[in-house]
Each structure stands twice: as structure tokens, then as C-alpha cells.
Amino acid sequence: MICLTLSSPTLALCLEEIRKNREYIQMAELRLDLLDEEEQKRARLFPAMTDVPVILTLRRKCDGGKCTLSERQRRSLLLDALDGDFAYVDIEEDIKRSEVEQKARERGVKIIRSFHDFTGMPDDIYSRIYKLAERGDVAKAAVTPHSIADLMTLFRIADELRDVPKIIIGMGEWGMPLRILYRKAGSMLTFASSGSEVAPGQLTAEKLSVLYRADKVDDKTAIYGIIGNPVLHTSSPEIHNPGFHAINYNAIYLPFLVDSVRHFFSLAEYLKMRGFSVTIPFKTSVLMYLGNITREVKQIGACNTVVRVPGMWKGINTDYYGFLRPILKDIESGRIRNALVIGAGGASQAIVWALRNRGVKVTILNRTLSHAQELATLNYCGYDKLENARAYEGTVDLVVQTTSVGLYPDFDQNPIDGFHFTGKEIVYDIIYKPKMTKLLREAEKAGCTLHFGEEMLLEQGKLQFEAFTGYHYPKELPLS
């Protein structure tokens, strides 16, 4: 189930939240601590006002809520609310057997026993969840993973505590995959918002239901994703998930924030993933884990797509073709004869190779000169320090920005700040969030022709989709 956490101050507004999200949800959580004081006294009426089962929660400030009442006052408020026909009531781990629990049993209201950790994950998380389940109908653990290894621990709860009714929440950036693949962790539900997140990393009900179809995930669902650091800004799920749905393929594609490629491959094996995209900074570090690579990967030295083939992982590079397609006519016509490439990372490797393969003269600028020199030596091109960018003003036809400088949320950064465009240059920034980076804004003012990161994203994404599914990307979708 997708459970909508209601965040409005009045019951009427909470009902409006449910109405707007009704097609996406199967349950709602009424947060008494977020209601106005007078509205709290009417909470018992709420379940009869809606057609979805409702969880009753009065969250203390120490557990991430807003309630600052004494425990006696909080208990009294919960007891009064339990006169209503709630489906569940949330009682925290440290609360001993109480009148609230007794009344819930008498009223046929199921008990969720919960604990929250906003700083990390307890070492004894499995045993704590098991003990919670012994004291209630459902055990709930809301914790904060800080690594792929932590995320793996949470997913393994499905096997370690297979028969325990549970709700497992991974808060923050690292926990997002668990909020989406909650069924893979054996969780009975995932919490969603109607707009503003109530807990760290919470997604909207619409995104969970429409983009990810999270409540439709089953044992046969093929799992794909994208790894990077940062990665949560990615638009790739908006390419692949609609594509999967259009061809009636039972599959899901989601972002994974990664700190260790080795640990991610372990998680990918555990989840039986079929493939994933690779972005900054892992396009070269994934290579050692691949059993097979294409000619492009071998020559470029970087991989942006990994697919499962019998007995191994195979590496592909679709950046090469994705980058070239928007500017191919300008290269073939001779408008682009020489280029300045900013950056020497994984994306740059594919771009430099693509340009050199088409006969374009390339100079690589990078903050670390040795990285630029290494890439330049492999591709027979020039190199220089990034700080010397202005020495190339007016001498190039194409400027390509391949670094993460200017990427969300650092909108106001430009890796070659102060560079003066003549207006004849074609300027191509592979960042796609934001679409108009500071570099592109300055190029536009000078009258340059612009190319955007979303162009490359879509072109390489279509090729990834073919590698993942064996089908062309559906032409009827707006992205096409």
C-alpha cells in the first residue's frame, strides 16, 4: 500500500489532501501533532469522513513530530481519538503497556509499534524489529542509512524477518530506493506526501504511484536503476519508467546514491537487478566488475550502461552516440572543426573520443592537469589547465562542458567564469538540471548556438532502453 501522510492543520484540509491523491493511495495517516488544537479534539470523527483506512499517529518531537504535550496529555488525546474507527494506531517502542493499547485492542484497532532514528541505524536492528512485532500487530522501523551497505542491511530484512509484519522506512537520500522498493524489503506500506515532505526523503504519492508504480512491484518485476553521487536530481526515471509501461514490461527504474561501487554490485546481485545506468563519478570505477565490455567501452575507457547477461555483467557506452547526435550535422558540414572540452572525467572520455573519431581537433581543459594529459595522450589531442581557458577565446568552434559544475543545486557556478564568447561558437553543456546553466546563459547573451544536456540525456537514454529491453523506445511517448 501507499499511505498518504496528512500534513494539513484541519480535518477539512486533510480530507482535501486525500481527495486530490485518492487515485494514488490505499491508506492515510492522520498526524494529530500537525493538527490545530481544536481540530485534535475532533479527530475521532475523521475515519468516518473518508473511504480509506486511517492510521492514528501523535508523534512526539523527539521522534520527529510536533507534539510537545506531557505524556499524560498525549495519552488522553489518543484515548479520545480512539473513539473513532481507525484501522491502526502508532505507539512508540518505549511506551509500556498502556490504556491506549488496551483501548485499541478493545476497539479492534491494530497496533503499529515503532521506533525512529534520525541519525543512523542501530546495530541490533533485526532483533529490535522482531521484539517490536512481539508487542504489536506490526513492527515499524524508520531509520537513516548513510551508505549502500546500510541500504543492503535494510533490504535484507525481507529475508531475515520473513514472517514478521513490518513497515521499514529508510529516511534521507540513501533511503529513497527503500521507499520505492518497499515491497522488496517485505514492508506492508510506504509513506508518501501530498507535496511537502513530512519525513526526510519522502516522495509524493503521485510520483510513487504513477512514475514508479511502486505498489505494483512483485516478484517478477525487473529492477533497473542509475548510480551516481549525486544522483537524486536525475531525470532518467522519467525516460525509462514510462517506456517500460508503454511496452507492457513489468519493470521499474530508480536512482541509487552510491558511495562504494563494490557494495552496490552486491546490492544489485541481491535485488537481482537486470541493469543500470552509470553517471558521475563511477563511469570508470565500474569497469573492474564487468565480465564483458563493448568495443566503445574498451576504446573510451568509460562505461555508462551495465546490463546483466548470462553469468556476468556487460558494460556499454551510449554517451558516445547520445552526445554526437545533436551536433553530427555541424561536424559533417565542417562548421565544427575544433573543440574545447571542459573536464576530464568519465563523460569527457566518451565525448573526446567521439569528437576525435569524427576528425575534430580537441583541447581538454581540466583543473587537475595530469588527468587532462592522460586523456589527451589516449586520444591524440591538446590539453591545458582550466585556469588558462581565456587563452582559447575566439579560437574554437565548439565548447563542451562535461563537469558537474553548475549541476543542481549549485546553479550559479561556471567552470570557465569570465570566458568571453564571440557568438560564433556552439556551446554544449551536458548538465540537464538546470537546463539553462550559468555557462549557457553567458553563451546565449553572446549569440552562441546552444545545445542542452537533456538532448544528450534523451538520446543516450533511448539507446540504454534498447539495451535493457531489446525494444526501441516507444515513438508515441512525448519524450520521443
Cβ-based burial of 367 (10 A; exposed 0-12, middle 13-18, buried ≥19): middle
Alpha carbons 17 and 19: distance in angstroms, whole number: 5
- For position 409, what pLDDT does the model report? 74
Alpha carbons 141 and 199: distance in angstroms, whole number: 13
Alpha carbon 158 to its chain centroid, in Å, reads 21
CB half-sphere exposure, 282, CA atoms < 13 A: 28
Please list, in sequence order, all residues whose beta carbon lies within 8 angstroms of the beta carbon of residue 332, skipping any fewer than 6 positions away. Answer: none
- For position 477, what pLDDT does the model report? 79
Query: What is the set of domains in the chain, with CATH numbers?
Result: 2-220 (3.20.20.70), 225-317+464-469 (3.40.50.10860), 321-458 (3.40.50.720)
The H-or-E segment that residue 384 falls in is strand 382-385
- For position 95, what pLDDT does the model report? 87
**Per residue of the chain (480 residues), what is the pLDDT tens digit?**
999 999 999 999 999 999 999 999 999 999 999 999 999 999 999 999 999 999 999 999 989 899 999 999 999 999 999 999 999 999 998 888 789 999 999 999 999 999 999 999 999 999 999 999 888 789 999 999 999 999 999 999 989 998 899 999 999 999 999 999 999 999 999 999 998 777 778 999 999 999 999 999 999 999 999 999 989 888 999 999 999 999 999 999 999 999 999 999 999 999 999 999 999 889 999 999 999 999 999 988 889 999 999 999 999 999 999 999 999 999 999 999 999 999 998 789 999 999 999 999 999 999 999 999 999 999 999 999 999 999 999 999 999 999 988 887 778 899 999 999 999 999 999 998 889 999 999 999 999 999 999 999 999 999 999 999 999 999 887 765
In three-state secondary structure terms, 84 is: coil
| Cα torsion angle, 430, 431, 433, 439, sign | negative
Alpha carbons 309 and 298: distance in angstroms, whole number: 18
Catalytic residue list contains 283: yes
- For position 479, what pLDDT does the model report? 64
CA 449 vs CA 65, 85, 426: distances in Å:
51, 63, 5
- For position 21, what pLDDT does the model report? 97
Alpha carbons 95 and 78: distance in angstroms, whole number: 13
Contact 314, 331 (CB under 8 A): no
Alpha carbons 29 and 7: distance in angstroms, whole number: 9
- Find the farthest-apart pair of alpha carbons in the chain and give their distance in angstroms, rounded: 81
CA 250 vs CA 44, 217, 461, 467: distances in Å:
41, 8, 18, 16
CA 198 vs CA 212, 432, 478: distances in Å:
20, 28, 32
Alpha carbons 64 and 143: distance in angstroms, whole number: 11
- Select which of 140, 166, 283, 462 is catalytic: 283
pTM score: 0.89
- For position 473, what pLDDT does the model report? 94
In three-state secondary structure terms, 249 is: coil
Please name the amino acid found at residue 179.
R
